[in-house]
Structure 1
């Protein structure tokens, strides 16, 4: 059986999304802003995420809220590039809150599926500067593979945070 590169990338995306869908099924609103460590990145009440242009050392532990914003940010910009729109700046993309975050991410998935459905192997060979810049000399196939990898990484981080939160000792009343 022969599988095209675009079919393989779509399969990988679907596999990654199925893992994410598992974690999106049951978060409680209080899970999003739970701070797992003293040094933590989260989002502010206005939806603005913590950020540093140079990654700090040590790296702050992100909250699920921050991670869902992060996914929404890079995925929105990837969609801008894929659809030949002017890419939004990071500061333009705010977190919609715990009541809307999952719907936001599911909506981005639907938009990304449209991109994946129209992709041919020739489309994958087109030059793409996202996320590394034009000077990297990479293709849209690299962008799609990066989206899959970045989503998989962020999904595992969210899953780990959910596990840690659920494993905490319960406060006695």
Structure 2
């Protein structure tokens, strides 16, 4: 493979699969600290995340549950895909948590396949300007590099929560 950004994504995706293949509902529901962000099931069965209404992270930042991290992944990665492919960007309120580990895994695998296809289609277009996640001055190449880094960070967070929950149960 000659495209380093695609190679990097494939590497991160493989690391992601390591955690997705073992992800459970208990992993996603694990509450790591008293001050935390999670998702909440509404009366219609739609799950919504904790999120600051003013868009400013509180200080201290709440520790996210795996479910919140999964929702966050679906939101930002889907929005990055919208930007990459030229579709109107979804709003965070349009992204619902799937409600289960099986739903999260299916949604993330579907998003990963769509992202890989978009990377292949935009490989020659890396200098095109984008406005997500920054207002201006960045390119498709910047967006892809950022998405790879953000995906690796979020996958590591999910994995760490899985490990902590497992160790907590084994103690």
TM over 0.5: yes
Instruction: Tell me how far 1:84 sits from its aligned partner.
Output: 1.0
- In the TM superposition, 1:1-12 aligns within 5 A as 4=2, 7-12=3-8
Instruction: Tell me how far 1:133 sits from its aligned partner.
Output: 1.2
Larger radius of gyration between Structure 1 and Structure 2:
1
Q: Does 1:30 align with 2:33?
A: no
- In the TM superposition, 1:77-88 aligns within 5 A as 77-88=79-90
Q: Does 1:14 align with 2:17?
A: no
Q: Which has the higher strand share?
A: 2
69, 86, 89: which one aligns with 2:71: 69
Match of 2:115 in 1: 112
Distance in 2 (alpha carbons) for counterparts of 1:169 and 1:26 = 16
Deviations 1:23-66 (A, max 9, x none): 00112211111101100100001310000111111110101100
Aligned-CA RMSD value: 1.4
- In the TM superposition, 1:1-173 aligns within 5 A as 4=2, 7-45=3-41, 46-52=46-52, 53-98=55-100, 99-121=102-124, 123-134=125-136, 137-170=137-170
Distance in 2 (alpha carbons) for counterparts of 1:101 and 1:154 = 13
Aligned length: 164
Q: Secondary structure at the match of 2:48?
A: coil
Q: Secondary structure at the match of 2:99?
A: coil
Distance in 1 (alpha carbons) for counterparts of 2:86 and 2:115 = 13
Question: Structure 2: 5+ residue runs without aligned partners?
Answer: none
TM-score (normalised: structure 2): 0.91
Deviations 1:123-149 (A, max 9, x none): 000111110112xx1111000001000
Distance in 2 (alpha carbons) for counterparts of 1:49 and 1:151 = 19
TM-score (normalised: structure 1): 0.90
Q: Which runs of 4+ in 1 moved over 2 A?
A: none
Instruction: Tell me how far 1:120 sits from its aligned partner.
Output: 2.8
